[in-house]
Structure 1
């Protein structure tokens, strides 16, 4: 039997790749960090790419890879685990698509250019620290999914199962609220770039998009309540609660900027 030229080398490369993937699956979720680092590496060009697109790509990657790792380990994906992975994927795809649309919008050009100028003036070391920090926080988001897709989550007590589904409901509501608020704000800025947004959801809440984001992250905190140990629950809540606090700080910063920017706007 004749062997095609180069076939042994190809086979060796394939075996090496499978070995690497097997090691990553064995060490998951620790090996999430290299993945999220690549996802956030756009921050070396513009810091917005680390925070925005990096978040979206990391959440999508965590969802898909956690499901694949569970399959590799022979762990059946329950309805709860599928819902949690689906929420992560929906969050990531929505955020990535929205940010790409907003970036190409004329009304957003001045802000993007300002951030690009700031990024160009930031040292490589500072950008590396930024990308590293953001990617580490996103790697921690794999923890709730690992618990949600574990055998312990499937055999949890009914009360804990209910708490897990409450988290799914809260996160889903937050994601829907954030989506509607982002779309309303983008449409309003297209019409009147220089005016504050005061209609739609913004007539009832100053920052409904941030409120939705906080609800999503608070819901994620509940994923580990279903089957997680006390230490796992604490570890799984670290990144989502940190992100919720970041949203609070961002809302306060926007309030200060808005007071300065729109102080001459009347009516």
Structure 2
């Protein structure tokens, strides 16, 4: 396995998610988007004048689009949305007293996670695997994920302007209650699919699979925590429970309505 190449990606991720030292939550938000976008750029640089497939280019560009869209949206929301500033402040409660070594561990851990998540495309490039169905299928799934995330953010923002006292319930939110997290899952599912048939050995597959499973866990846990928060904020409204009890929380057409009742 090309550990030197993976080390370069790790250093890239470290550099761009270091914004977490400014605000701890940035390790997992703005720094996350910036690190993924930077890794996408690094993959393009790695393959400069040596691309075996156009699929690598497409997959790398999708990472760049995904990362910059996410980081840009989060920064815009923080600057323009007073309620979101309060959410960030609440999320940061207690983190200002964290010791520097703990922050360094978090920094390194998140950077490693981002390398794991993006590694399927790296292995396809490093192993010089030619185009096949999986690279384009993966790119299509990732592109769909970006579209869903973008639409979900826009729809939620528009609905909140009309009714700030209720969760978004229209558009994509009429299909699932957390379409932004669904889009995130689809994006990384696509990246994982891009690596199928590209692994040179079982170690490469395990490396990528661990990253995929970890991000799935993070998204499901995020949906669970969001539901707990919404139950607290809107639980006194009958219309909220009518919506929550009849709209799947994360996966469309799968009748899983509540994660808050699932034990950790």
Question: TM-score scaled by structure 2?
Answer: 0.82
Contact 2:117–2:188 under 8 Å retained in 1: no
Contact 1:45 1:119 in 2 (8 A): no
Partner of 1:92: 67
1:122 to 94, 98, 101: 98
User: Corresponding residue for 1:223?
Assistant: 194
Q: Which residue of the other structure, out of 219, 244, 247, is the alignment partner of 2:219?
A: 247
Structure 1 residues 127, 188: CA separation in 2 closer, same or farther (over 3 Å shift)? farther
Moved more, 176-185 or 116-125: 116-125
3-state SS of paired residue (2:167): coil
* Residue among 135, 150, 160 paired with 1:189: 160
Gaps of 5+ in 2: 240-264
Which residue of 2 is the match for residue 51 of structure 1?
Answer: 28
Residues 10 and 112, structure 2, Cα contact 8 Å, conserved in 1: yes
Q: Is the CA contact (8 Å cut-off) linking 1:46 and 1:115 kept in structure 2?
A: no
Structure 2 Cα separation of the partners of residues 237 and 40 of structure 1: 22
- Residue 19 (structure 2) aligns with: 42
Q: How far is the alpha carbon of 1:26 from its aligned partner?
A: 9.2
User: How big is the alpha-carbon RMSD for the aligned residues of Structure 1 and Structure 2?
Assistant: 2.1
Which entry has the higher C-alpha Rg, 1 or 2? Answer: 1
SS in 1 for 2:129: helix
Cα shift at 1:107? 2.9
Could you tell which deviates more after superposition, 144-153 or 164-173?
144-153
Aligned to 1:165: 136
Q: In structure 2, what is the equivalent of residue 234 of structure 1?
A: 206
Q: Offset of 1:170 from its aligned partner?
A: 1.2
Partner of 2:88: 112
Instruction: Give the match's secondary structure for 1:31.
Output: helix
**What whole-Å deviation, never above 9, does each CA across 1:44-83 have from its counterpart, x for those lacking one?**
2322211111111111111111111222xx5225211111
After alignment, is 193-202 or 92-101 more displaced?
Answer: 193-202
For 1:119 and 1:186, the matched residues in 2 are separated by 28
In the other structure, the counterpart of 1:62 is 39
Partner-residue secondary structure (3-state), 1:133: helix
Gaps of 5+ in 1: 1-24
- Structure 1 residues 198, 83: CA separation in 2 closer, same or farther (over 3 Å shift)? same
Aligned to 2:251: none
Aligned to 1:149, the other structure's residue is in SS state helix
Mapping 1:18-37, distance limit 5 Å: 27-37=4-14
SS in 2 for 1:153: coil
2:93 maps to 1:135: no
> How far did residue 186 of structure 1 move?
2.6
1:81-119 residue CA offsets vs partner (Å, 9 max, x unmatched): 111101111111110111111111223121122233332
Number of aligned pairs?
236
- What is the CA–CA distance in structure 2 between the aligned matches of 1:218 and 1:234, rounded to whole Å? 15
Q: Specify the alignment match of 2:174 in structure 1.
A: 203
Question: Using a 3 Å threshold, how does the CA distance of structure 1 residues 188 and 125 change in structure 2: closer, same or farther?
Answer: farther
